[in-house]
Structure 1
Amino acid sequence: MNPCSRGFAVFVRLLLMCAASLYSGCHSAADAPADSRRLTAIAWKEHPASPILVPGQPGSWNEKRADTGNSIIYYKHRWYLFHSGVDAGTVGRIGLHVAAGGKIVGPWQALRDQPVLGPGVAGAWDSESVAHPSVMRRAGVFWMYYGGTDGNRQRIGLARSGNGIDWKKLPGPVFSPGPPGSWDAGGVNHPSVLHDGRRFVMAYAGWPDGRSAIYSQIGIAVSTDGMKWSRLAAKPVLGYGGKGHWDEIGLMAPRLWVENGRYYMNYSGREAETALSSLGHATAETLDRWTRSAGNPMLHHTQIRYHEIGWATAVWFERRWYLLATANLDYGVTTLWQEVLH
C-alpha cells in the first residue's frame, strides 16, 4: 500500500488489503506497529456502529446490496470506501462513501454523483454489470481494478481517476478467463491488487467452464505495468478444501496484502452442506506456496447474526485490528468487526 511519502497524510499505522500497493506505514508516536502474523489468533466482535453501509432507498442503484469489494484508502484526511451495489434488476455498480475526521467507524456518507462506475455501453465486455473494486493510488492517480460481465463471461477491467470520483475505463478487460480446459476457463473476478515493490500482484477468483462462480478457487497473476498480466501458475494457489471442510466447494473474494516481505490473504470459503460462506486466512513467503491458517475459519457463519460473511478487508487503526466484511441476511450490508483487546 502507498507510503506516507506518496501523499497519504495518515497519522495512524494502516494496513489495508484492498489499497493494493505496498504500504510501508506511518503512525503516531503512541501507535504500535501492525503484526499481521497474529490475525487468526484474534477474537472478533462486531462494532456497535455496524453495519456501516446498508442498501439505499427503493429505486436506487444499491437498493438490494451495499457491499463487496470494500476497498479502503485514506486520502486528504478522509477515508474513501469503494464498494459494490446492486439495484432491483440485479445490475451491479460501484459506489464511494467517505468518512471525515479519520475515524474508521464513520459516519459514512455517500459522495456526490453516485455510483462512480457503471456498466459499459451495449456490446462492451462489461455491459451488464460491474462490481468488486480493488483500488490503489500510485503517482497521484487512483487505479481501480473491477469485475465486469457482458452476461456471458466475467472478466477483470481497470479504470483510472485523478480524484477518486471521475473515472475513465481502459478499453477492454485487462484479465480474462483461461484457455479451454483450464481451471479458470469459466470466468475470473474478485480482483485484489497490490504492488510489492517489484511488480504488481493480483489475487483473483476463477472457476471452470460449465460451473458457476460459487465453485471458484483462487489464483495469482503478476504484471510489470499493471495492465498486461501473466498467470503465476497453471493451477490455483488456493484450491478446494477437504471433504467436510468449511471451504470444501469454493474459495473467493481474496483480500491481499504484504508486510515485511511476507504475503497475507483473507478469503471467503463455502461449505458443501449449505453453500454459505465464512472467512479464512492464508500466508505465503513466495506467491506460489500458500499455507492456510491453522486457526481457520477466522469467522464462521454460525458464529454471527448474519447467515453468511465474506470479503474481509483488514485495517490496522489505533492499535487494534478491524475487519470490513460483507454480510448477508435479507440483503447485503458492509459490517465492521474489531479485535477484542485483553
Structure 2
Amino acid sequence: MKHIAVVIAFITSILGLSFGWEKYPANPVIDLGEEGSWNDVHVSDPAVIFDGEVYHMWFAGDNGSQRGIGYARSVDGVHWEMYPGNPVLTDGIGDVWDGEWVSQPTVVRHGDLYHMWYTGYNGEHTRIGYAVSADGIHWSKSSANPVLDLGPAGSWDSEGVSNPTVIVKDELFHMWYAGYDGVKVRIGYAISSDGIHWNKHSSNPVLEPGPDGEWDDAGVSCPSVIYAGEAYRMWYAGYDGDNLRIGYATSGDGITWSKRSYNPVLDLGPAGSWDGSGVSGPSVVLNGVTYHMWYTGYDGARSRIGYAFHEVPGDTSGDGTISAYDAGLILQFVVGLIEEFPADRIGAPEGVRAWPSYAVAIPRLSAKPGGRIRVPLYIEDATGLYAGGFRLRYDPSVLKAVEATPSSLLNGSLWRVNLEMLGEIRFAFATPTPLRGGGKLLEITFEVTPDAEGLASPVTIIAVNLNNSVPVRIENGLITVSPSVTRLLPNYPNPFNPETWIPFKLAEKAHVTIRIYDLSGRLVRTLDLGEREAGVYLSKDKAAFWDGRDMSGRRVASGVYFCRLQAGDQTDLRPITVLK
C-alpha cells in the first residue's frame, strides 16, 4: 500500500503542484568585480552550458561606461573561476550596429565550435549578432551581423530585438528572442539552418504579456528554452511595471506556449536583499534529474548573478521530467514487471501491444444558460496504454468545471483530476495492466454561466502525454450556449427606410419562417430562412433581412407592421415601423 500511496502522490503532483525553485543560500554566486574593473557596476544575463564535467558561463559585465561579455567556468555551478582576460567579447568600433555595447549572450556547442548569439546596441536600437569560437574565449564575429534585425515599421519587433536563446534540435537552430515595439516587449521565434540566416515565424510573437493586473502584464522577455521530456520548456522574465520576476511556460512545438498558472516560479528576494528588486535573465540547464538556474538579481542599484535549483521528484524513467508514465512504472515495479529504476520503458505482458499512435476527441455540444452539461473525452482505441496525462482548457466566463468521472475503461486504474485551476482541467491515470478497447475515457460536468446565452467555449486539449508521449491525434470540442427560449429580438434600424435586419434566437433547431403583416392582418411578405441550429442570430450576416418590399416587389407604405416568427411549433410576434 505504501507504493500505491506514492503513485497517488505522483499523479497528484503532475496535475499542477509546482515543485519550487530553491535559491542557493550563499547567493550571489558571481558578484561585482573589483573597483575599476570591467564589471564593477553590474554583472548580469548569464548563459550556461554543461559539457558533462564543467559548467561554462558567458555573462554581461558593465563598468558604467562600457558593457561587454565575460567568461567563467565551474565544476559545481556555484564556485566560479573567472577568465583573467575578460571581457571575451566587446562592442564594435565606430558607428556600427553594436558600437555602444554588447550583452545578453546565449551559447551552444555544436560540431567543433561554440556558437554565440548576443544583443548589440548602437545607441538607438538593439539587434542580434552572431560569433563563433573554438575555445569559448576567442571569438570571431560574423561578417553578416546583425543576423536578426528589426521588424517592419509598426510591427511588434520594429524598435528592437534582443535577449536571444538558442537550442539545436533536428540539426536546426531554434531561437526565441525579445521584440520591442516602443511600448511593450514580447517573445518571438525564428529558425535557421546555419545560425546566420534566420526566418521569423509568421505567428510571432509566440509569448504575449499577461492580462491587466497579472505579474507579467507590462512585458515578457529574457527567454531561456530547453527541450526535455518531449516538450519545449521556457523560463522567462515578466514585468509588471515595477519589478521583474521569472515565469515558466511549456510548448509541444515551440510556437504555442502555455504559461503556468502558479507563475512566477522565481520571485523577488526579501526587501533590501541582493535580488529584492528584481529577478530576470534566467539560464537553465537540466543535469540528470535536477534543473539548474542562473539568473540576474537586482537590488535597486546593482545587478549580480545568483543560482537556484529544482529537483524533479519521482523521475523513475530518468528523462528529467515527472509524468503519469513514471507512476505507471512504479505500478509495474509493484507487480513485478520491472525490477529497477530508472526504467526507460514499461514492460508489456505477452500478447499485448501498444499502438504507435492514439486518437482522442471531445465533441461539439449545445448547452443552456444556467444549466449543466456532461462533456465526454473519447479515445478511439486505448489498447496498450499504461499511463496518461491531459490538460484541457476552457473559457471560465462561459463554463465552470464541477465534476469529472472516469469511465469503466479505467476500472482498476489509479487516477486523479484537478478542477481547481481557473479555465483548466488536469487529469492523469496509471495502471499496472494495459487498457483494452476504446470509447469514453472521462466525463466532465460543467455548470453554464447564467448570462452566457449566445456565447461559446472551446474545450481544448492543450497537452496530452500517453505512454510517455507517443503521437496523439487530437480533435477539440466546442460548447455552444443556446437560448432557453425562442424569441424575436428588436430589429435594427427601427424605424427604418428602406431596409432592416430582424434578429432572433432559437432554443432548439427548427425550420424558421418570418412573416410580415400590416395592421389589417394582411400578409405582406414571407421570409423563409430554412433549417437553423439553436443559437442567437443577431449580426447582419445571421439575422433575417427585409428590404421593405412586399411579395410583388413594391416598396411598402410608411406605418407599423408586425413580424411573426415561426420556428417549429414556437411563435413570437413583434411590431416594426417603416418611416419614409
TM-score per shorter chain, which class? 0.7 to 0.9
Q: Shift in Å at residue 103 of structure 1?
A: 1.2
Q: Give distance in 2, aligned partners of 1:293 and 1:87.
A: 37
The aligned counterpart of 1:41 is 18
Q: Which amino acid aligns with 1:308?
A: G
The aligned counterpart of 2:72 is 97
Higher relative contact order (CA 8 A, sep 6+): 1
Q: Which runs of 5 or more residues in structure 1 are unaligned?
A: 1-36
Q: Give distance in 2, aligned partners of 1:216 and 1:84.
A: 20
Deviates more, 1:142-151 or 1:258-267: 258-267
Q: Shift in Å at residue 59 of structure 1?
A: 1.7
List aligned pairs for 1:198-237, cutoff 5 A. Answer: 198-208=171-181, 210-211=182-183, 215-237=184-206
RMSD of aligned alpha carbons: 2.1
Deviates more, 1:233-242 or 1:199-208: 233-242
Q: Give distance in 2, aligned partners of 1:246 and 1:311.
A: 16
The aligned counterpart of 2:251 is 284
Superposed CA offset, 1:78-107 (max 9, x none): 321110111122x220000111xx31222x
The aligned counterpart of 1:153 is 125
The aligned counterpart of 1:20 is none
Q: Give distance in 2, aligned partners of 1:340 and 1:200.
A: 28
List aligned pairs for 1:107-256, cutoff 5 A. Answer: 108-171=80-143, 172-208=145-181, 210-211=182-183, 215-256=184-225
Q: Shift in Å at residue 44 of structure 1?
A: 2.4
The aligned counterpart of 2:358 is none
Q: Which amino acid aligns with 2:44?
A: D
Computing the radius of gyration from Cα coordinates, the structure with the larger value is 2
TM, length-normalised to structure 1: 0.81
* 1:73/1:136 contact within 8 Å kept: yes
Q: 1:243 to 1:105 in 2, by over 3 A?
A: same
Q: Give distance in 2, aligned partners of 1:159 and 1:38.
A: 42
Q: Give distance in 1, aligned partners of 2:192 and 2:279.
A: 30
- What SS does the aligned partner of 1:244 have? coil
- What SS does the aligned partner of 2:264 have? coil
The aligned counterpart of 1:334 is 305
The aligned counterpart of 2:292 is 322
Q: 1:198 to 1:271 in 2, by over 3 A?
A: same
* 2:189/2:205 contact within 8 Å kept: yes
Q: Shift in Å at residue 300 of structure 1?
A: 2.5
Superposed CA offset, 1:296-338 (max 9, x none): 1102226674211012222334643332111001311100113
* 1:45/1:340 contact within 8 Å kept: no
* 2:41/2:302 contact within 8 Å kept: yes
Number of equivalenced pairs: 295
Superposed CA offset, 1:181-208 (max 9, x none): 1110000000001111142110000011
| Correspondence 1:309 to 2:292 | no
List aligned pairs for 1:11-26, cutoff 5 A. Answer: none
Q: Shift in Å at residue 265 of structure 1?
A: 0.5
Deviates more, 1:164-173 or 1:320-329: 320-329
TM, length-normalised to structure 2: 0.49
Q: Which amino acid aligns with 1:225?
A: D
Q: Give distance in 2, aligned partners of 1:159 and 1:290.
A: 29
The aligned counterpart of 1:67 is 44
Q: Shift in Å at residue 286 of structure 1?
A: 1.6
Q: Shift in Å at residue 240 of structure 1?
A: 1.6
Q: Give distance in 1, aligned partners of 2:133 and 2:122.
A: 23
* 1:40/1:293 contact within 8 Å kept: no
Q: 1:38 to 1:153 in 2, by over 3 A?
A: farther
Q: Which amino acid aligns with 2:102?
A: V
* 1:40/1:281 contact within 8 Å kept: no
Q: Give distance in 2, aligned partners of 1:340 and 1:290.
A: 23
Superposed CA offset, 1:19-77 (max 9, x none): xxxxxxxxxxxxxxxxxx89971222321332110111222111111111x11123484
Q: Which amino acid aligns with 2:298?
A: N
Q: 1:128 to 1:227 in 2, by over 3 A?
A: same
Q: Shift in Å at residue 130 of structure 1?
A: 0.1
The aligned counterpart of 1:78 is 54
| Correspondence 1:299 to 2:271 | no
Superposed CA offset, 1:208-234 (max 9, x none): 1x44xxx21000011111110011125
* 2:226/2:285 contact within 8 Å kept: no
Superposed CA offset, 1:253-278 (max 9, x none): 00011124421110000013x2x101
The aligned counterpart of 1:264 is 233
